[in-house]
Structure 1
């Protein structure tokens, strides 16, 4: 039996398809009720809490290991909650930062709509993470999952940087999360999605880049169980949130949307928002195909 050649289009979509699908996904979230969006965001905050459990458990068990081995193990553990959230399709602020801004760039939603959607998702994530952090600091030691002392070690990278350093790291984390949203949409199969979620969040965890929601859960647990003060937590959350938002919006949404939308408009000669141009070109292609079939 001969080997079947694999067409890359079978597993990967064109950049036009990816952007169109990202815009449609963003529009679906704008069209959801506020209560539905909020509950999904709370679920994401709760599910992401399993990253805290996994990292704390591995950090407890990895004592005595070399620094490289310990970092690799904890970085792999860091991916757990993100896999649950992204494949489970609940609303995570850093991933949705990119999705929500695309319909605004395409002139289908207003800045006010964007701010409202971001606010609902962010508040739900914070609440869900807060609940899970309180649960974890009680259950973790009770069941011997982790020692409370490791919580201070986990958040140390967030408390030792300057404000500018923390902000720069958060921009990179937001950039990676926005890129992850694009990559997950680009592949057609679940195994590809799992790989990209694992690899991207592994990189964030290994380099200790500040992710506002995952870091919020870790910092909240540390505030509850260690001498870490609320001031350090508040400083982290503010800086990380701003950095994540800027990274996701500028480096992914603006750049990706800009190069795809401008390229598509130039190729087709059509004018209007990207989705209008995309749908017109798709319809034109279908009409041409129908005419060929009739001939």
Structure 2
């Protein structure tokens, strides 16, 4: 005789299996436990941690090249923003020029490129739980930001020295850059804080959705809000400055200090403090249950060494 299950037992087994949330290879949940298509705060955090693990394990050159690709994509955002602004010169609402601004960010997030402002959330989660060291975080930040800025430099150099921009769009690009530089230093910091809050919050929400269409809509709406409300993003702002430098409108040191530095500071504060730490504080089960325990780094290792603690089998 065979050992086939009875119909009732098979039905029970199928019911039990269907009630268990799916798991990704990393152990992070692929479906919510209470409601399949919605994640709890802990489950979202676990998905963020899985992404963070991948990032801190990446080689420096890989982070840089991924950041470089993101810098090129941001050049697309800069180009489209200036072009659309030139197309609607009489728009007093400021709502038409940003219509194509989010496109570069869609490329970045859907293509899984590395963007500095995204990294104010994901690897910071591992540092807060003290399974990754601060130097490991700084390595990721420096590598990604260097790649982002390199891509923006190359892209804006091409725009400044070729005929890609129309005359009207080139004038609009200069206006955008000067508007930023002429904004008071601390106003830029606070504007950038809100932008950093939006982008890091976007990364958190992006880990809470499960289909591509929802991601695209989410990215578009959140990123559109940045230029539409007069906020500033570090890589786009850097592209503004580099374009002004390449067209001879401003000195590099002036552009960096008056625009790039306050925006970088504000984005970092907004992403780390307004999103990451708050979300961290409301979670309890921060690692997938399928993982083994992770050893917390010693204070010395956490502060001074390139260390990442891995799950024990």
**Range class of TM-score, shorter chain:** 0.7 to 0.9
Q: Which residue of 1 aligns with 2:216?
A: 194
Say whether the 8 Å CA contact 1:170–1:247 is kept in structure 2.
yes
TM-score (norm 2): 0.78
Query: Which structure 1 segments of 5+ residues have no match?
Result: 1-6, 265-273, 284-295
C-alpha distance in 2, partners of 1:168/1:61? 29
1:209 to 2:235 alignment: no
Cα distance change on mapping 1:155 and 1:143 into 2, 3 Å: closer
TM-superposition CA deviations, 1:56-80 (whole Å, max 9, x none): 11122212x3311xx2121122111
Q: Which residue of 2 aligns with 1:91?
A: 114
Cα distance change on mapping 1:31 and 1:281 into 2, 3 Å: closer
Say whether the 8 Å CA contact 1:50–1:81 is kept in structure 2.
yes
- The equivalent position to 1:19 in structure 2, one of 41, 45, 55, is 45
Aligned length: 260
1:137 to 2:147 alignment: no
1:238 to 2:264 alignment: no
- The equivalent position to 2:79 in structure 1, one of 36, 41, 53, is 53
Query: Which structure 2 segments of 5+ residues have no match?
Result: 1-31, 294-313
Cα distance change on mapping 1:53 and 1:31 into 2, 3 Å: same
Q: Which residue of 1 aligns with 2:105?
A: 82
Q: Which residue of 2 aligns with 1:66?
A: 91
Cα distance change on mapping 1:20 and 1:111 into 2, 3 Å: same
Q: Which residue of 1 aligns with 2:174?
A: 152
Say whether the 8 Å CA contact 1:148–1:225 is kept in structure 2.
no
Q: Which residue of 1 aligns with 2:150?
A: 127
- The equivalent position to 1:229 in structure 2, one of 251, 264, 267, is 251
Cα deviation for residue 199 of structure 1 reads: 0.8
Q: Which residue of 1 aligns with 2:26?
A: none
Q: Which residue of 2 aligns with 1:3?
A: none
Say whether the 8 Å CA contact 2:160–2:243 is kept in structure 1.
yes
TM-score (norm 1): 0.82
- The equivalent position to 2:67 in structure 1, one of 24, 41, 47, is 41
C-alpha distance in 2, partners of 1:279/1:94? 29
Cα deviation for residue 117 of structure 1 reads: 1.0
C-alpha distance in 2, partners of 1:169/1:144? 29
